Structure 1
Amino acid sequence: MRRFGRTLVTAALAVTVVAGTAGWASGDSQRAVTGPPPGAAAWRADTVSGRALPDPASASPREVARFFAGLDDSARRELVRSHPLVVGNLDGAPLALRYEANRIAVAATGEARYAALAAPGRQILAFDPRGRGQVAEVFGDLERARHVSVIVPGSDNDATAYDAKRKQHTGPAGMARALRGATGATGATGATGATGATGNVGAASGDVAVVAWIGYTTPVGVGLDAADGRLAGAGAARLARFTAGLDAVGAPDPVLFCHSYGSVVCGLAARDTDATDIVAFGSPGMRADTAAALRTRARVWAARGPSDWIADVPNVEFAGIGHGADPTSPAFGAHRVPAADVQGHTGYFTPGTQSLAAFAAIAKGEVR
């Protein structure tokens, strides 16, 4: 009975403590944005040379890829002009078409907060303005890269705040730039982005591409959304489809770098992705007792810095609250990433840190 009481207390603590990247603030319940973007009905009603278009809600990324492979350039570009929001978010569609479609879709919103996303040189792989907005940006040449990494962030990330000023090397775009730079990629082109540095890293340099992926509705601040798995479950389905889309266009199997609540998303998606490696850092748990319980062939890695407040989050899961075992604990069975010099909850990509050096080696496939 005493043990049950301690579990209840710990679960209650999890409700008040679990958070993403914003720290101590009250959280508001978020409605998960799922399904195809606006414009799907018009897309379904359209045809190309009498052929039905693939249903964005049910066609697999490979089916989408086969459909576009059967079109000539004129037909492809007409679909981009007519249905930019659908093409821009359609996993399995050619990358160049998605970039073009999203430039059109961003400009069509007429919203100043999104305007920078349409700047020349930026490679926006997904853009959905519903709710707080979702966005994915590619750094590097995804079509030719030998290695691909995907940054999966935690709470308080969305399209509206994507280009907001942040401390360098934090936020999805800052992490992506730092990781790609640490792999030896050089050069930069494009618009000013979230950290005040150039927005995209030169596509012709290096053989590592990194995707900053905010493809799910993240929690806001501290609250039940951050302590339960509802948003993570919806995000996991979207992450699995996104990685299937990368595979459908011939991209290498990715490495997933999963921060804070993003590691909950990755934990739930693990069995349904073809990732070679899954790296959880600053993690409140992955909704699994062990790495083996994730049921993935990917190598699982975990990192936590000595001053990361996530260590204060109780590693329990009770009645759907809390995210389970600490991925950095020996019992979990993940490979440990050195992080002794990491500062705080968001310092894992700071140049010169042990964690960033290790992340770069994993991203390049150098760790066996």
Structure 2
Amino acid sequence: MKNLANISSHLKVLDTKDLTIQRVEDPISLKNLSFKVYDEIGNFGSKLEIWINDFSDVEFPIRIHYETSRNGSALQWLKKDQTGDGTHPYFFTQCAAGDGTGLNVIAHEIAHSWTGNLVTHFNFEHFWIKEAFTVFLERKIMGRIYGEPMRQFLAEGGWKDLKDSIEQYGEKNPLTKLHLDLTGLDPTDSFSKVPYEKGSTVIWYWDELYEDSELFDKFIRYFLSKWKFQSITLHNLFETILEFTRKEAPLDVYTKLLNMNTTAWFEEPGLPPYKPEWLKLGIRSRYKPIVEQVFRFTESQGRIYFNQQLFRDMYDWKEQRVETIETYHRIKNRWMFITGYLVGRELKLFC
């Protein structure tokens, strides 16, 4: 971690990459501010130093006028031959929220208004923090819209994505840790599902540790209020949840949090030392209270991807097979024909 304590409060240092800095100004007085762009260092971009005139306040605005490059890694330039109709070129940013049909993507980007914009990570070695909370909140939003089983099913899919990423990197690869050491590495090389899914598992674990979602929601609000407009590290995050838990949660929750194996969670590669209970896992564990949730979830929506897998697993549970087939006949007419047909095949109803 870089020590910023010795940098003068009159001098501000920013990172730039593939940008041409034209002018820096105080947007209130419109006076130009002195700045210097250093030579590019490999793939890491260039340092931008800005000198603040008449420094008096802790907070102050800066306006930077810049021009992007066609090679900007946060931007995509498509020639007209690369577009659908081949008529016009097209430009978009990596932050664009899909094509508007993915509600979970929209929920994710909305959540970034708090975890990512209001509070963000100190540097890319702590990148997982903002994505962990954002994925957790994204799925919480989806759960509010479609019900708790939807949240659990999305998390189950995220676990599969996490396993695939770790298998691709190798389970001993240091880039599968949450707290990374990126000395000499391009942060882009560390990008994967790991910070998103392994990170969100940490937040899910804390939520389950509380055994009180409303109290955990209160912690999230406390965390966002305490660190608003700041960049934080793992140390800041863990100290904050300990502080809140000590004051607001039962003693046994605080004790469990103190005994959390932080080395295994944050400093070791591979899968996290915990996997939450979800619908499919509940079925495979023959956990009877999950049955009602499964059928309620399959009745609430008609997605082939979800219902085909769930009914297949329920059919394999011999004790529940009769009820599974009865439930299928009761709700199949609420789905599209293809969903009903494919689920029926999983239940051996069609040859």
TM-score > 0.5, shorter chain as reference: no
TM-score calculated relative to the size of structure 2: 0.26
TM-score calculated relative to the size of structure 1: 0.25
Higher relative contact order (CA 8 A, sep 6+): 1
Higher helix share goes to which structure?
Answer: 2
| Structure ID, larger Rg | 2
